[in-house]
Amino acid sequence: MLFNPQKCASCAQNKQTNILVTNKWNNIDSKKSKERKQTKRSFFEKFLKFTGKVLLFALFQILASKKTRRKVTFITAGSLLFQGPRQVIIEATWRPLLFVTLAPPLIQSTHPGLYRTWQFWSRVIPIYIGYKITQKEAQTLPEEEKRLLWEKRHEWGSEKVYKLCTELRGFYLKDGQFLGTRADFMPAAWIRRLKTLQDEVPPAPFQDIRRTIETSLDKPIVELFDWIDPVPLASATIAQVHCARLKMNGQLVAVKAQYADQERLCQLDLSNLSRLAVFLQRHDLKFDLVSIVEEFQHQIPLEFDFEREAQMMQRISNNLRSAGILPQRVVIPQVTQNLVSRRVLVMNFIEGFKIDRLVTESFPNVDRNAILENIAMAYGHMLLIDGLFHADPHPGNLVFLEDGRIGIFDFGQVKEIEDDLRIRLCELFEALAQDNVSNVANAFSALGIQVEHNQQSEQLLSLYATGLFDTCALPAGVEINPFSEASPLKTARVRRFPSQLFMILRAMQLLRALTSALACDFSFARVFASFATTGKCLRRLSSDSLLVETGDS
């Protein structure tokens, strides 16, 4: 067979051409296949993206507040309808807005404790920064402009704090109530706004209160009362009070019922306040705030036990009755037997006038000094004789009767102190009544309060003792407000304040605020003097025994 090179070359060339054509068509088919796959993938991705947006939008509609639903509806519609750069811009707006609005409800439903902490700090930090900015701006302004600047800031701050207290409630509400009584301590704008927290707290729905009453007393409400007013007499930190008439005897009573889930919230609030106290103590206030929060962490859980509160009411009533102070000077509600549980307390109704009405109204037959003396007699005996005292005398817990007697309510915050501390307090109040600077300074130090040694003197310690534990007017130009330049805290820091003293300090500061609000130069220490002289000679042989005279002078 002959070999034809030319023919072989032609065949090879044709074969190569066929291969190239085949490869070309294969490539075209492969490319089309890839394009089809990409088209399918692209459609699937777009479908998933669209479905995801729809699901997120549906979730948002379920969880978001009414205020922001409409805005996000428009943004969502825009992100679905517009294409290209407009869609990028709209989605850039949508995503952070979606996160900001969806994250809190999601956290609230899955981690309620974290959500409450977030709510607290997101409110407190702007308040702190706002005041720091104003503090910086005010340094270079003339006095009149400085005053106007601070007034504006205080109005803003008081509203922020009021919303924090009423919207988060819990222990923040109790703090707000305390600050609202301190006319000698807080700016006027804060007092005007926060004093409404004493008994004008937004009430819980009556259905929730009714459920608490029925489950706690294990009876339908119609079997307990002829009627019960759904509008509360007062709404406070952990409970609200309703007027009712007993079915069994027709007696008019006050029904105190707890809010749901408040105990857990208060414990969480104290944890947040503990962190805030550490920060403020380190950077702003020269006072031992941490010990104060620690005392609250011990004391607050007791306030949720209404059975204990009923026992405290009975014990204090018996003590004051044996001393001739009750019912001659004060009255305390009597507990209705068999209608007490851990979360519900029924007691007889005492009709009187809110004590802060003495500030704004004229009562010709009422002597303000006599009112304060009756309160001082009760507290002198509770504190210095019995060592068991009502530790929450804010205006919402005090009323005055037409005959001048005082009604004392809410015995959730009752503090019992040991004999050694009670006797040291007797020595302090005796020294304060005698106005002996040296003795006051020594008795003040004996309580375990530590003040910085720099510039420390007997005069300074005496000033501290008077400002913290008495209610009389302070020397001209001196304030106990820790934010004021006239405060002794600016010259000598209180490094340690024993936690067991705080409830005593709190009660005395509430009484100082009341005295200041009534515009009376009245010294509780002078009324306490006779109780102090007697009390320092008394001691209990054991925790449950009666007081006996020791013969000590």
DSSP state of 353: E
Give the residue-averaged pLDDT of 529-545.
80
pLDDT in tens, 106-146: 666 666 677 788 888 888 888 888 888 888 888 888 888 88
318 neighbors 327 (Cβ within 8 angstroms): no
Residue 253, pLDDT score: 97
Torsion region of 121: left, alpha or beta (phi above 0 gives left; psi -120 to 50 gives alpha)? alpha
Taking the C-alpha atoms of residue 88 and residue 182, their distance in angstroms, rounded to an integer, is: 54
pLDDT for the residue numbered 65: 53
Please say whether the beta carbons of 406 and 378 come within 8 A. yes
How far is it, in rounded angstroms, from Cα 32 to Cα 306?
80
- Region of 324 on the Ramachandran plot (φ > 0 left; ψ -120 to 50 alpha; else beta): left
Structure confidence at residue 56 (pLDDT): 58
For the chain, the distance separating the N- and C-terminal CA atoms, rounded to the nearest angstrom, is 146
The partner residues of 333 in beta bridges, in order of sequence, read none
pLDDT band at 417 (very low <50, low <70, confident <90, very high): very high
Each residue of 285-304: pLDDT tens digit?
666 677 777 777 777 788 89
Q: What pLDDT, on the 0 to 100 scale, is given for residue 2? A: 45
The mean pLDDT value of the chain amounts to 80
Task: Give the model confidence (pLDDT) of 314-369 as tens digits.
Answer: 999 999 999 999 999 999 999 998 999 999 999 999 999 989 888 888 888 889 99
pLDDT at 105 over 90: no
Q: Which residues pair with 256 in a beta bridge?
A: 241, 345
The pLDDT tens digits of the residues spanning 495-519 come to 788 888 888 988 998 999 899 889 8
Task: Give residue 307's pLDDT band: very low, low, confident or very high (50, 70, 90).
Answer: very high
**Tens of pLDDT along 168-220?**
877 787 778 777 766 656 777 888 888 777 656 678 899 999 999 999 999 99
Domain residues of the chain, as ranges?
A: 99-199, 264-301, 351-552
User: Residue type for 487, please?
Assistant: S
Find tokens 């409404």 and name the residue. 196
With CA atoms as reference, report the closest residue to 120 among 163, 179, 180, 178.
Answer: 163
Residue 392 DSSP label = -
Are the C-beta atoms of 280 and 372 separated by less than 8 Å? no
pLDDT higher at 23 or 524? 524
- State the pLDDT at residue 474: 81
Residue 79: pLDDT band (50, 70, 90) is: low
pTM of whole model > 0.85?
no
In 3D space, the residue among 490, 483, 486 whose CA is nearest the CA of residue 474 turns out to be 486
